[in-house]
Amino acid sequence: MDPQRAEPLGSAELSMPRDRLALQKNSVCSRSYFLVVMVFVHVYIINVIALLLYVHYNNGPGDNSGPLSDVTSAAEPPEVGSHTHPPRAPEPSVVNRHLHRMEGIRVGHVQKVQLTPGRVHEMKTLSLKPLLFEIPGFLSEEECRLIIHLAKLKGLQESQVMIPEGGDELAEQLQISQEEIFHLLDHNRDGQLQLKEVLTHSRVRDGIWLTPENIREVYAGLKADPDGDGLLSLEEFKKLNSSAFQHFMQQRGVEKSQLVRNSKHTWLYQGEGAHHVLRQLRQRVIRLTRLPSWIVENSEPLQVVRYDRGGHYHAHHDSGPLYPETVCYHTKLTANASTPFETSCRYVTVLVYLNSVPGGGETTFPVADNRTYEEMSLIQNDVDLLDTRKHCDKGNLRVKPTQGTAIFWYNYLSDGKGWVGDLDEYSLHGGCVVTQGTKWIANNWINVDPDFHRQAQFQQLMADLDSREVHENRDDELYRDMQAERDHPQKNKVYSDQDLHQDL
Amino acid sequence: MDPQRAEPLGSAELSMPRDRLALQKNSVCSRSYFLVVMVFVHVYIINVIALLLYVHYNNGPGDNSGPLSDVTSAAEPPEVGSHTHPPRAPEPSVVNRHLHRMEGIRVGHVQKVQLTPGRVHEMKTLSLKPLLFEIPGFLSEEECRLIIHLAKLKGLQESQVMIPEGGDELAEQLQISQEEIFHLLDHNRDGQLQLKEVLTHSRVRDGIWLTPENIREVYAGLKADPDGDGLLSLEEFKKLNSSAFQHFMQQRGVEKSQLVRNSKHTWLYQGEGAHHVLRQLRQRVIRLTRLPSWIVENSEPLQVVRYDRGGHYHAHHDSGPLYPETVCYHTKLTANASTPFETSCRYVTVLVYLNSVPGGGETTFPVADNRTYEEMSLIQNDVDLLDTRKHCDKGNLRVKPTQGTAIFWYNYLSDGKGWVGDLDEYSLHGGCVVTQGTKWIANNWINVDPDFHRQAQFQQLMADLDSREVHENRDDELYRDMQAERDHPQKNKVYSDQDLHQDL
């Protein structure tokens, strides 16, 4: 092939004038061709960049299985061995605003997922409200045993301790009068507080799980309800502040079984340098949820919980509702905001059963797939659906603990634009009382700020810290703070868990 | 810039041996550059094609709003005036396998949609099971009036006529014995047929809506249940075939109010040449559902239904369940399959209220967002949730007819891979009895074959027919066939609706 023969092809593409080409043959052959090459090189490079950017912005980093693939395999995060992978720096400038959300399809639907090389797991939809899945064999027997062992080595602490003094700090901070509280509590607006109206208020704040009988007892002890009908008028309520209420309970003596939760737990760091089983667990969580690795890897460490016989955790939400002022524990430092509304912003909970419990210990979702959610109707005079010691069998859904099985669910709805929306109230769940043996579980929470920009800022900060190689202090500080707050929302930094989040 | 200086760049890309380059300078300058150009041209073209294909396969044709846009506007299908737009030929070679599915988020969630230029509609989630939305002001008052007018001009026919002879043709075709039918009906496997077990079988097939009282009456008339306990043993059932059953009902006399539905309807063609309001309605449906226009435009024509006072439609599914052998009416010709299992494959129903009904006429979704769906528990001895004449108030959800409001829902679930999955049993719905005035509604169904390849084949056929310009005969044939089948599944082509699907 000589240049003469090649010319028509080239010129057809670029429509160069033939006569110029013929006149300046020598220089044209080098200069024009060079120009052409350069143009194509640049166009090509721009094109590739555009394609890459497009792919990045349209698929989550962990979301690269097309709609045609039968097995939904998130190929990106590879299963890592210990100490082999340097932490990938997040790229906040091109962070994806779209969080993958599984399709539930229908209760009982089974989809295949690839979590470990050479093995396909089955993921079954347990409920749509909340969006809840079960994955048998998520961890092997040995992995479960190892995690229990690591937790024991580290040592467990009581999940809930009695708070010596309660008080109405939040109410004082918000400057709400007793009268306003009364009207907030009086859901049915009959000018009187029923027992259950008092319960929804009090049981969450004080750490003591109150039953209707307890309240009657307190009323009697404090002579708050002279006519003894179990109803409080505004006048009666004004005389009774919650310090008095709690003080009475304290004096009366509170047993562990009367607390919101009765368990011990510890935290296991899963980042660089952690045991390879813990690192692998995190990678498996990324593959399972198909959430961006930069979010999962900056989430809370693994919580391992031990429930002894008689242990329980009354029904609760893993994360709080979102008000305009709400900030997340994990992005609080970045947000630089001061507000009494703080929550853990746990978008997803992945709970793994580390052993098969001989008796009890089910995870209950009392309102799963219920048609409606009404806080008030959860507490009836005879059945309190929130009480996992008494009424676990009355709930809509219970999952039996089976070693290695994981369940995972979304604590927040979608906002319809690919990010985190409102709290999913149906995600209410609890741990039924263990009647025989011991129950061990591991919780992996994925923290996402519903404010996309705050999450992006946080990622930027984490990346900066990563590059400065100050891992140990950074994580410890953040999570010590966070943990203290979660356990004792009224008393920040009074209890600091010294051993929290240290690697083994 | 001379070729010498250019060389390092070019050679770096292609790693050509430097000495060869220096030796054959003249021919190299033309030949190698030509080669480089050609390589880049091809790589570039392949790249562009890859990008285009990627974009096409990942976004639906009517799905081009990113997750960042606040108003979900499907910009593609423009609002058309009458006679202005030639029908777009579908491109089955690059058809998108991903059907857009709205996010419900939660009951009561409101999202904004742009359906007509310069106006934003609000779309409210009414239920998640089925995925059901309400859009007030979908049609204007004038548009509603015009559609009623067009329907009247065309003339309406009875939606259901008494079938003179029933018979067990399906059972015969499938070669199922009476004994096998008995065991299929005996849900609770107690060896006896309760009234409700008989009801779930009989009421659907014969066009007559049977109540428990009717059945007792038939039993008495045919002396089928000598002991009169309302239960049929296998022996008793064998003596009673459904011809005898139906024959008795016929002789006894059946009133309109005893039929499954009591209404009149007509079909309005919406394709090329149709009234611009009907064309616009179809375009608005495309924008609303964000389903590919090539699917919506080859779906059934608009059905306009008139319910007079006393009119009703007992609870039903708009489309049938999917068995491996099931074929769709609309792709049957293409599928070339012979099976007794045929259904309309209506993926989506868009129902528009053309007037505000003075009394009754609500659309009921008796099991919307129910926790479970059990066919048997729908019919209790005292309350039959399927009966829209008696028990409309007992259902979970009722939508009041308001002029111009549209509701739309999915009759099928997703298959988890972007296409149509199983029937959504929760999509059960009916029209409550009209107690005052007249009720006018318009139904737009979007037909999708759950077998993607059959749907693609069908689109190819439609495109071929389109290009041969044989619109009128094609559509008429297909839908006459389809309609005859839907109304009289046992008696194909006995009644052919001569005026069906003709343009006004």
Residue-wise pLDDT for A171-196, tens only, equals 566 667 778 888 888 888 888 888 87
The domain boundary, picked from B211, B226, B253, lies at: B253
Please say whether the beta carbons of B320 and B334 come within 8 A.
no
Residues A186 and A277 in one domain: no
Query: What is residue B381's predicted lDDT score, i.e. its pLDDT?
Result: 66
B420 to chain A: nearest residue by CA?
A105
Provide the residue type at A267 as one letter. W
Q: Please tell me which residue of chain A has the smallest CA distance to B45.
A: A44
What are the pLDDT digits (tens) for A342-364?
Answer: 899 999 999 999 999 999 999 99
Q: How far apart are CA B110 and CA A22, in angstroms?
A: 68
Please state, in angstroms and rounded to a whole number, the distance separating the CA atoms of residues A103 and A286.
Answer: 16
User: Would B150 be classed as within a structural domain?
Assistant: yes
Q: Is B75 helix (H, G, I), strand (E, B) or coil?
A: coil
Give contacts of B58 with chain A, Cβ < 8 Å.
58-59, 66
Q: What whole-number distance in Å separates Cα of residue B125 and Cα of residue B131?
A: 8
| Residue labelled with tokens 């539905």 | B261
Q: B11: closest CA among A43, A34, A31, A3?
A: A34
- Summarize pLDDT for A453-503 with one digit per residue, the tens: 999 989 888 888 877 755 555 455 455 444 444 444 333 322 223 222 323
pLDDT tens readout for residues A416-441? 999 999 999 999 999 999 999 999 99
Chain A CB contacts of B54 below 8 Å? 51, 54-55
Q: Determine the pLDDT at residue B133.
A: 98
Looking at residue A233, what DSSP letter applies?
A: E
> In chain B, how many domains are there?
3
For A413, nearest residue in chain B (alpha carbons): B105
Say whether B34 and A106 touch across the interface (CB within 8 A). Answer: no
A70 pLDDT band (50/70/90 cuts)?
very low
Alpha-carbon torsion angle B138, B142, B147, B152, nearest 10: 150
pLDDT at B191: 87
Cα separation, A100 vs B473, whole angstroms: 47
B124, part of any domain: no
Residues B227 and B287 in one domain: no
Residue B317 belongs to a domain? yes
Query: B444 and B324 in one domain?
Result: yes
CB contacts, 8 Å: A3 with chain B: 27, 30-31, 34
Q: What is the 3-state secondary structure (H, E, C) of A133-200?
A: EEECCCCCHHHHHHHHHHHHHHCCEECCCCCCCCCCHHHHHHCCCHHHHHHHHCCCCCCEECHHHHHH
User: Residue A84: pLDDT above 80?
Assistant: no
Nearest Cα of chain A lies from the Cα of B316 at a distance, in angstroms, of 20
Whether residue A499 is contained in a domain is answered as: no
Q: Do B175 and B153 fall into the same domain?
A: no
Q: Which of B126, B150, B151 has the alpha carbon at shortest distance from B136?
A: B126
Average pLDDT of the segment spanning A447-451? 95
Assess if residue A364 is contained within a domain: yes
Q: At B441, which helix (H) or strand (E)?
A: strand B439-447
Three-state DSSP class for B191?
Answer: coil
Q: How far apart, in whole angstroms, are the C-alpha atoms of residue A488 and residue A205?
A: 10
Nearest CA in chain B to A10: B34
Query: What's the rounded Cα separation, in Å, for the pair B146 and B156?
Result: 15
User: Three-state SS string across A321-390, please?
Assistant: CCCCCCEECCCHHHHCCCCCCEECCEEEEEEEECCCCCEECCEEECCCCCCCCCHHHHECCCCECCCCCC
pLDDT band at A29 (very low <50, low <70, confident <90, very high): low
The residue count for chain B: 504
Q: What's the token pair of residue B388?
A: 């829209």
> With bands split at pLDDT 50, 70 and 90, how would you rate the model's confidence at A13?
very low
Same domain, B364 and B462: yes
Helix (H, G, I), strand (E, B) or coil at A478: helix
CB spacing of B34 vs A33 below 8 angstroms: yes
Quote the CA–CA distance of B392 and B314 in Å, as a whole number: 9
What's the pTM value of the predicted model, to 2 decimals? Answer: 0.73
Do A358 and A395 sit in the same domain of this protein? yes
Q: CA nearest B196: which of B378, B373, B379? A: B379
Tokens describing residue A10 = 């080239």
Contacts of B211 (CB under 8 A, 6+ apart): B384, B387
- pLDDT given for residue A337 in this prediction: 66
Residue among B53, B54, B106, B128 with most chain A CBs within 10 A, to mutate: B106
Structure tokens at A412: 């927040």
Query: To the nearest whole number, what is the mean pLDDT of chain A?
Result: 78
CA angle (B225, B229, B234) in 5-degree steps = 50
A263/chain B closest Cα distance in angstroms: 32
CB atoms within 10 A of CB B136: 14
Q: Do residues B276 and B312 share a domain?
A: yes
> Whole-angstrom Cα distance, residue A62 to residue B348?
31
* Contact flag B371-A2 (C-beta cutoff 8 Å): no
User: Scanning every residue of chain B, which has its alpha carbon at the shortest distance from the alpha carbon of A72?
Assistant: B417
**C-alpha pair distances (Å), A223 with each of A201, A208, A229, A234, A236:** 20, 21, 12, 15, 9
Beta bridge partners, B176, equal none
Query: Which two tokens mark B406?
Result: 């549209």
Whether B33 sits inside 8 A of A37 (CB atoms) is yes
Q: Is residue A119 part of a domain?
A: yes
Q: What is the pLDDT of residues A283-337, one digit of tens each?
A: 999 999 999 999 999 999 999 999 999 999 999 999 999 988 889 999 887 776 6
Answer yes or no: do B176 and B325 share one domain: no
How far apart CA A128 and CA B305 sit, in angstroms, is 34
List CB contacts of A368: < 8 A, sequence separation 6 or more: A126, A127, A129, A130, A132, A395, A396, A397, A426
Rounded Cα distance, A125 and A111, in Å: 8
| Amino acid in the structure at residue A143 | E
Q: How far apart, in whole angstroms, are the C-alpha atoms of residue B340 and residue B169?
A: 10
Tell me which of B223, B253, B283 is where a domain ends. B253
Q: Are residues A404 and A451 in the same domain?
A: yes
What is the 8-class DSSP label of residue B208?
A: B
The answer to whether A440 touches A362, Cβ cutoff 8 Å, is no
Report the distance separating Cα B16 and Cα B21, nearest Å: 7
Mutate to test the interface with B, among A29, A49, A51 (most CBs of B within 10 A): A29
For A256-280, what is each residue's pLDDT tens digit?
777 888 999 999 999 999 999 999 9
The answer as to whether B112 is a domain residue is: no
Query: What's the pLDDT at B388?
Result: 93
The CATH number for A429's domain is: 2.60.120.620
Report which of B207, B409, B400, B410 is spatially closest to residue B314, judged by C-alpha positions: B207
Domain presence at residue B117: no
Where are the extended beta strands (E) located within A270-320?
Answer: 302-307, 312-316
Torsion angle defined by CA atoms of residues B424, B425, B427 and B428, in that order, rounded to the nearest 10 degrees: 160
How many whole angstroms separate alpha carbon A92 and alpha carbon A94?
A: 5
- What ipTM describes this predicted complex? 0.71
Rg (chain A; Cα; Å): 29
Question: Using alpha carbons only, what angle is made at residue B121 by residues B118 and B125, rounded to the nearest 5 degrees?
Answer: 160
Main-chain dihedrals φ then ψ at residue B324, nearest 5 degrees: -55, -30
Name the residue range of residue B235's domain.
Answer: 169-253
Q: Cβ of B41 and A13 within 8 Å? A: yes
> Do B396 and B466 fall within a single domain?
yes
Last residue of a domain, one of B194, B227, B253: B253
DSSP codes joined into one string, B85-103: PPPPPP-GGG---------
Check residue A120 and report its DSSP letter: E
- Determine the 3-state secondary structure of A208 from DSSP: strand
How far the first Cα of chain A sits from its last, in Å, is 69
Indicate the SS3 state at residue B396: coil
Give the pLDDT of residue A43: 76
Q: Cβ distance A154 to A504 under 8 Å? A: yes
- Asked if residue B432 and residue B460 are part of one domain, the reply reads yes
Contact A97/B68, CB-based, under 8 Å? yes
To the nearest 10 degrees (0 to 180), the angle between helices A195-205 and A242-252 is 80
> How many residue pairs from chains A and B have C-beta atoms closer than 8 A?
130
- The CATH number that applies at residue A184 is 1.10.238.10
| pLDDT of chain B, 504 residues: tens digit per residue | 444 443 333 333 444 444 444 444 455 556 777 777 777 778 777 877 777 776 555 543 333 333 333 344 444 444 443 333 444 444 444 457 899 999 999 999 999 999 999 999 999 999 999 999 999 999 999 999 999 999 999 999 999 766 544 445 555 666 677 788 888 888 888 888 888 887 776 564 456 777 777 788 778 877 878 777 778 888 888 777 666 766 776 677 677 777 888 999 999 999 999 999 999 999 999 999 999 999 999 999 999 999 999 999 999 999 999 988 889 999 987 776 677 788 999 999 999 999 999 999 999 999 999 999 988 788 876 788 999 999 999 999 999 999 999 999 999 999 999 999 999 999 999 999 999 999 999 999 999 999 999 999 998 888 888 777 555 554 554 554 444 444 443 333 222 232 223 222
Whether B234 and B272 map to the same domain: the answer is: no
DSSP SS3 for B136: coil
Residue B482 — φ and ψ, nearest 5°? -60, -45
Distance between CA atoms of residues B392 and A429, nearest Å? 34
DSSP A410: E
Amino acid at B308: D
Among A3, A55, A66, the residue with its CB nearest the CB of B31 is: A3
DSSP B148: H
Phi, psi of A259 (to 5 degrees): -85, 165
CB B213 within 8 A of CB B200: no
- Cα–Cα distance for residue pair B439/B363, rounded to 1 Å: 11
> Which residue in chain A is spatially nearest to B26 when comparing CA positions?
A26
